[in-house]
Structure formats: C-alpha cells, structure tokens
Chains A and B, each alone.
Chain A
Amino acid sequence: MTDHEPLIHIARRDGLVWWRAWCIRLIGAALALLASALFIYSITKLNPVKVYAAMWEGAFGSARRAWITARDASILLCIGVGLAPAFMMRFWNVGAEGQVLMGGCATAAVLIYLGRTLPTAQLLTLSVIVSLVAGAVWGLIPALFKARWNTNETLFTLMMNYIAIQITCFLVAIWENPKGSNSVGIINQQTQAGWLPALFGKQYLLNVIIVLTIAVVMYLYLKYTKHGYEISVVGESENTARYAGISVRRVIIRTMVLSGAVCGLSGFIAVAGSSHTISTATAGGRGFTAIIVAWMAKFNTFVMILIALLLVFLEKGAIQIASQFNLNDYASDVVTGIILFFLLGSEFFIQYTVRFRSHAHKTQEVEA
C-alpha cells in the first residue's frame, strides 16, 4: 500500500503554542527580506541594505512623512476594523470600497452645501452622522437580500461598489470646482469649514485618535458583548445559532449595518480629515486592501494596527525606492509582493504541518 501513499502529506495542526506561531512568522519575515534582497541585487545590483534603508526613509524619514504614514494607515485600519464584524460572521463583505465612497460623498455634501452656514462643531457632528448612515445603508442592502433570499453576499457587495463609484463620478461632475477641471478641488479651502481640526498642532493626530478608539471599542464589542457572541455563533454555524434561539436574520442585518457604518465613517475621515476633497480615489482600492488587513490579523483589531502600518509602510517605501533609485514602480511592487507572500505563507505553516511519507509511517507504527 506504500505506493498509494503520497510523498508529501499535508495535515492540519491542532492549535499551536503562540510563541511557536510567532517564531514561524519571524522566520517568514526573515525569509521575505532575504528573498527581496536577492531579487533586488540580481535585478538592479543595488545594495539591498541601502534599499531597505530607503524604504524606511520613505515612510518614517521625517516627522511629516511619519504623520502621512500614520494618517494613511489609520484610514486603512478604520476600514479593516469596519470589516471585522462582518468577517467574524463569515459574511464576505467586499463592499468596503463602496461603503467608504458613500460615507465620503455624504461628508462632502455636508461640507459643500452647509459649509458656510453651520459652525464647525455642528458641521462635524452632522458629517459624522450622515457618513455613518450612508455607509450603513450600503451595508444594509446586501444584508437584507442575504437574510431574506440568501443571495450571495460576495457578488452583491462587490457590485454595490460599482454603483457607489458611478454615484461618486456623478457627484464629482455636479460639484466640479473650478468648472472643467473634472475634480471637486479642495473643499472650503479658505475657511477650512468642516475639516477635522489639528490637535496640539498636529494635523492628523485627531484622525489617529478617532481610529484607535474605534479599534479598541470594536475589539471590546466583538469579544465581550452579547452581540459579539451572537456574531461568532452565527459565523461558526447558522444551525447552532438557530438551535440557541438566535435570530440569524437579525444578526446579519444588524452586523452589516455596523460594518457599513464604520466603513462609511472611514469615508468621513478620508474626506474631512485627510484629502478634503472627494473623488473615486478617496477609497482608491483601500476597501480591498483592508480585506488583507482584516484577514492577516484574523479579525483581531489590535493586530490590524500592525498590519495596516506594515502595508502602508511598504507602499510608502516602494514609492521612495522607485524615485530614489530610479526604479520602475513595478520593481517596488515586486518587493511588496514578496513580503506579503512570505507573511501569508507563514500563516499556512501555522495552520498546517507537512509530513513526508517515511515520517507518516513511523507515526502510524507508534500509534499501532
């Protein structure tokens, strides 16, 4: 029967001590740096250490750069945190892009139409509310269809993105400023009405504080509340949920409203706290990148902080090495790709163990 046994056998691990899991991740990171170094050297003949230093320079080289990295990471984190409850429920919300845009459009509308009439405090409060509502509605629609007719949420939320993109384009055309520029320009540039204020002289500090607060609250919500418990049960098995008397429909709808709302709020932060304009680039693919953030962190919002920082660091670093060493953009994308590949790959080795044939036989004998 040995002929039928495959040479390599992949088996699931039953839980791994946390420090061994982190060892595997560290090894993955080391291998990633090594592979990238080989790639960089073989293609460009540059010193990899210098290239890595340049990446660091690009992301954290100056206070201003560090703040921009923090600003972008916090928006990415906010979206990832928004996805967490939906993903915990095994509801594959890939519609964050659209939910962010709807939140952003709602915020921009408030800033444009009411920027002259309302004082800043009310302007901000109103922006927060409408962005939450807009994102929630964009999350609610697919949830209703899922709960009622069991439609596929992945396709549904994905297509909602395109609707949101079209709506954004339409609004950009209406709000065009100056005419013919095909962009909205900086909203309320002179008055800065409705902009998130600087805190202690740091322009983006408030963004970071808001998002970190949301991350902490979401962590507590998912881990310690009855709602969070229901989300975990529904995600694990709808049958068990029904058995326990949980209304699966209600949990799906409630959770997606929350997920969409937080994503909508990310749109508010992007518009009122970061770019002060609205375009399809307000989301700019971050709704999809956030999926990676959420997954790599296994939906733990604290780990998401690290992942979001890492991804933004890679992005800023890539831009830096592209300009500093006159490299093609794609070369730096390859480096980013290699690093992600190894980090995701290490998750595989945490979940599974690889046995070779002879080894498997020995264990069988031991069991016998």
Chain B
Amino acid sequence: MAEEFAVRMVNITKTFGHVTANDKVYLELHRGEILSLLGENGSGKTTLMNMLSGIYFPDSGQIYINGREVTISSPHDAYRLGIGMVHQHFKLVDVLTAAENIALGLPGGLVVDRKAIGARVREICDRYGFSVDPDKKVYDMSVSEKQTLEIVKTLYRGADILILDEPTAVLTPQETETLFAVMRNMRADGKSIIIITHKLNEVLEISDRVTVLRKGEYIGDMDTAKADARALTDMMVGRTVTLNIQRDLPVDPQRRLEIRNLTVKDADGVVRLDDINLDVYAGEILGVAGVSGCGQKELLEAIAGLQPAVSGSSIKYRPTGRSGPAEELLGLGPRAVSDRGIRLAFVPEDRLGMGLVASMNIAGNMMLKEYRAGKSPLVERRHPYDMARNIVRELEVVTPSIETPVRQLSGGNVQKVLVGREIAMHPTVLMSAYAVRGLDINTSYTIYRLLNEQKKAGVAVIYVGEDLDVLLQLCDRIAVLCGGRLSDIVDGRTATKEQVGYLMTNMGKEASA
C-alpha cells in the first residue's frame, strides 16, 4: 500500500542557544493536499520548514518522506527528496534571466541550453497556469513575477512537496487569487503543498487542513472544513494567562502626542502606514499590537524623527504642563528634536544594530545621546562612567566590567543597558519596540516594572508588543495595527484576547462587536 503521508515530522526540537524555536513539534502532510501552517510571529513556523528544506538541522526528532525516514542535512538533500521551498525573501540573481536563474546550481556543462530550459519552463507554465517569460531579466520583474519564478524553479527541479513561506504577504488581492488558482492546479496534479501564513481568511480559503503552532509548540491540527475563524484564533493565541503585572490607573493623563493623518511610504513607494490618527497621553502606557511588519516600526521611527512621512502627516508634541505651544515633530530629525529640549526615549527593536554600539563598552554607549553636550571638542567621560556604574548596580546588569563591549553581554543585559540609558535621560515620551523579546521571565518583569515607574512619573509610554497576554495586562489602551492601518483602539482593561486577535487579522470591528 502506498504511504499516504508525503511528509511526517515527528517530535522535532530545535534550539538556538537557550531559545527553543521548536519544542517536540509534529507535522503531517498528506499526498495531494494543501496544508496551512498557522501561528503568530515567533511561533516557529519558518524554523520548522527550514528543517524540512535542509537549511537547519533538527536537534532531535525524525523526518519521514513518503514513509521513509530521511536525513536532510542540506538544501541539496531536500531537492533530491523532491522538497522545494519558496522563501519570503527571494533567492534570485537580479542580473540573470528567468531561465538562467532556473539553471543555476543544476548539474550540467558550462553551456546553458536556454532553448531546452525555455521549453520545459513553458511546459510547466502551461500545466499549472503560470506565466513566466524565460528570457526576462529578474530586475525587470515585479514581486509577483519573481515569486512565480521561484515556484517554477522548484517545480523545474522536480519538487513534489512545495513549501511557500508567507507567499501572499507581498501580493495584491488579485495576484493572491492567481496564486491560489495555481496552487489548486498543482494539488490536482498530485503535488503536496505547505503554506505558511497568519491570515485566517486565506487558511480557510485555500487549505484542506491546518496545523497550528504557538510559541514553538505544536497545538494541533484540524480539517479546514470543520474549522472556523474563532476556533483557529483560539488555537493560535491560546488561553489567557494571568501574569500578575502591576497596573495602576493613569493619574491625570494629559495629551502628549497628537498623530494626525500619518502616512509613511518606504523606499519602493509601498505604503507602510496609512492615515494613522492617534493620541498618546502622558501617564499611561499605550500598547501597539499587530502582526509584525504592519507598521509598528514605521510608527515609532516616525515619532523619533527617523522616518520621513508623506506631506499632510502631522505629529504634534505638547510639552509638560498645559501651557506652551504644541510643536510639530515631523521633519525635525532626532538631533533637532533633542536640541529643542524634547526628550524622546526610544528602545528600538534592533538593540545592538540601532540602539547601541555593539563594539563599545557600557560607558561608551551611555554617551550616545548626550556626547554632544557642552562646547568642549572633547567628550566628557566621567559622567557616562558614573551612569554606567549606576545602571549596572540598579538594574543588576551581569557583566565582567563596565569596560566589556555590550556585544558580549547576554540579550537581557543588553536590553537593561539600553532601557537604563533611555530612562536616565528623564524622558517625556518613552517608546519601546518588542522590549521583552528573547528575555527571560525575571528580566521581562524588570522591564515591566521600569515601564510602570515611568508611567507613574508622568511619561507617555508606548509599548509595541507581540505577546497579547502582556499587552492586555500591562497597557491602559491598545492600538491595533493591521497592514499599516489602525484597526481600532481598545481599552486594555476590558478588551479580550480574541477581540485583539480579530483586529490584528483584519476581521474588523464587526467581528468584535
């Protein structure tokens, strides 16, 4: 009897340092089916698939392809087993044509037989309904064409098992429809497909079955026919966990930032933030929720003066006390902002690549924002050293000495140094992006405590987070972003996890009502 499973992954565990990305995960893919792999950011979907495609090697567990146990230790092994993966970031050579990209890395002589390749490519395209011009250069292609080329490339190499990593993230709705049509054609032809996604409507539309991961753990799988959005959301976000984070009522909240019609486009002209209107109050913690890449980074960077906005956008800053005129922050840049005495603290997502100078010691990092002070051409060195010693003592930073480059500190200690510096500037606005990502429980609670102290001191705190439990128990209000738009702002004390989950996946206000 033919084995019914194309892929079976059993008890797969993968750790990176002390972070467990996959913890005893199971995955089964039947022949000729489309399986959705669903989960929030950081739930371990991509890690799991990278082990199937030979990019990572599991710490433990077994992989069976067509019923036979296999060892996949390189992408080459994966190809031999008929597994092809289309990554979120395409792996194409821009200056080569479609046909040349397909021929790359394949065995064969020095001469590329473009005619033969072209013929096979056309055959594959006709069979599944793609359109690829073999002679087109990749740099002339749209995102959707590049993705099509990636899929054709894997099929050309004889893949029977296809993995698509968030394929729709870069596509327009029409292009998504085309992709789904092609996927159905491939399924009809007997191919087995895994699609990684966190969009519920797509799961329901395209897949036969769905496997859900949460925080690296296998939660379960379900036939899509029997599933609905609510059940899947529950599986994805899980039950509410009580965290016992302290939360006081805001005392005398005053409006600190007025964000109006904020629209941001990236270098390619893609809209990253779409007409955001939001007020931030002193003395409260405003949470920002959303699937990652929905504009959180752009929002914080726009406030920090690092992100140019489309004209017509406005971010007004109201100084402490009810008097004094509001100042427009957009267009100033970080230096002009601090020169005006506006103390914006910012704990960015990329701690070592943006918030800190990785090769410098703690004291060297302390002076990053205030080294300019004073007329002397020399940097003042005593104060940063005092500051460094203070932070090491008060936040219990574990470091051999304050001379140690911050690169050599552990993630939690790096974050303590960064948060400590930002708080030491006595900010009026404190922005943080994924402030507890990768930190252990104790350090996370230290961060929550520090944010609460700032709130109490009358600072306007913005907390961009990914863990809904934390957002719901730390924040006074939560702004939910979806695809660069503000879905809604909910009260952190009354909102439910499901409600925020719906808003994040753009199920809209009607679903939460």
Q: Which residues of A contact B (CB under 8 A)?
A: 1, 4, 14-15, 224-229, 232-233, 236-237, 239-240, 242-247
Contact = CB atoms under 8 A, between A and B. Distances in A.
A242 B368 CA distance: 11
Interface string B338-381: 10000000101010011111111000100111011000011101
B359 A236 contact: yes
B408 A243 contact: no
18 contacts: A1-B57, A15-B405, A15-B408, A225-B378, A226-B371, A226-B377, A232-B357, A236-B359, A236-B360, A237-B354, A243-B306, A243-B348, A243-B355, A244-B368, A244-B369, A245-B333, A245-B338, A247-B335
A340 B472 CA distance: 61
A4 B353 contact: no
B379 A225 contact: yes
B379 A226 contact: yes
A240 B356 contact: yes
Interface of B: 57, 71, 73, 304, 306, 333-335, 337-338, 346, 348, 350, 353-360, 364, 367-369, 371-372, 377-379, 381, 404-405, 408
Closest 10 A-B residue pairs measured CB to CB?
A245-B335, A245-B334, A239-B354, A236-B357, A244-B368, A14-B408, A243-B354, A4-B73, A224-B378, A225-B377
B353 A239 contact: yes
Given A243-B306, A245-B333, 6 more contacts: A224-B378, A225-B379, A232-B357, A239-B354, A242-B306, A245-B338
A226 B358 contact: no
A15 B403 CA distance: 12
A224 B350 CA distance: 27
B377 A227 contact: yes
Nearest to B339: A245
B57 A229 contact: no
Given A4-B73, A226-B378, A236 B371 contact: no
Contacts of B338: 245
A240 B379 contact: no
A233 to B, nearest CB: 5
Nearest to B335: A245
B358 A237 contact: yes
A237 B408 contact: no
A232 B356 CA distance: 12
Given A15-B408, A243-B355, A233 B368 contact: yes
Contact of A240 (B57, B304, B357): B357
A121 to B, nearest CB: 29
A154 to B, nearest CB: 20
> Which DSSP category, helix, strand, loop or mixed, fits chain A's interface?
helix
A225 B378 CA distance: 4
Contact of B379 (A4, A229, A236, A244): A229
B74 to A, nearest CB: 9
A128 B73 CA distance: 62
Contacts of A240: 353-357, 368
Nearest to A221: B377
A229 B371 contact: yes
B385 to A, nearest CB: 14
A315 B233 CA distance: 73
B465 to A, nearest CB: 20
B313 to A, nearest CB: 19
B402 to A, nearest CB: 14
Contacts of A232: 357, 359-360, 364
A4 B377 contact: no
B355 A15 contact: no
Nearest to B407: A14
Nearest to B367: A229
A236 B357 CA distance: 6
A236 B358 contact: yes
B384 to A, nearest CB: 10
Contacts of B367: 229
B20 to A, nearest CB: 14
B468 to A, nearest CB: 28
Contacts of B306: 242-243
A244 B350 CA distance: 14
Instruction: Name which of A14, A225, A245, A247 has the most chain B CB atoms within 10 A of its CB.
Output: A245
Contacts of B73: 4
B357 A237 contact: yes
A224 B359 CA distance: 16
A1 B71 CA distance: 9
A21 B369 CA distance: 33
Contacts of B337: 245
Nearest to A14: B408
B430 to A, nearest CB: 15
A243 B346 contact: yes
Instruction: Name which of A15, A233, A240, A246 has the most chain B CB atoms within 10 A of its CB.
Output: A240
Contacts of A233: 357, 368
Contacts of B348: 243
A14 B406 CA distance: 11
B357 A224 contact: no
Contacts of B357: 232-233, 236-237, 240
A225 B356 CA distance: 19
A232 B405 CA distance: 13
A225 to B, nearest CB: 5
Contacts of A4: 57, 71, 73
Contacts of A14: 408
A224 B379 contact: yes
Contacts of A239: 350, 353-354
Contacts of A246: 335
Nearest to A223: B379
A246 B354 CA distance: 12
Nearest to B60: A1
Instruction: Name which of A232, A244, A246 has the most chain B CB atoms within 10 A of its CB.
Output: A244
A3 to B, nearest CB: 8
A239 B356 CA distance: 10
A247 B306 CA distance: 12
A186 B405 CA distance: 52
Given A243-B306, A243-B346, A245-B335, A226 B372 contact: yes
Contacts of A1: 57
B276 to A, nearest CB: 22
Instruction: Name which of A233, A243, A246 has the most chain B CB atoms within 10 A of its CB.
Output: A243
A227 B378 CA distance: 8
B348 to A, nearest CB: 7
B134 to A, nearest CB: 32
A165 to B, nearest CB: 32
Instruction: Name which of B304, B306, B371 has the most chain A CB atoms within 10 A of its CB.
Output: B371
Nearest to B403: A15
A233 B348 CA distance: 16
Given A226-B372, A226-B378, A232-B360, A15 B354 contact: no
Nearest to A244: B368
Contacts of B408: 14-15
B369 to A, nearest CB: 6
Nearest to A242: B306
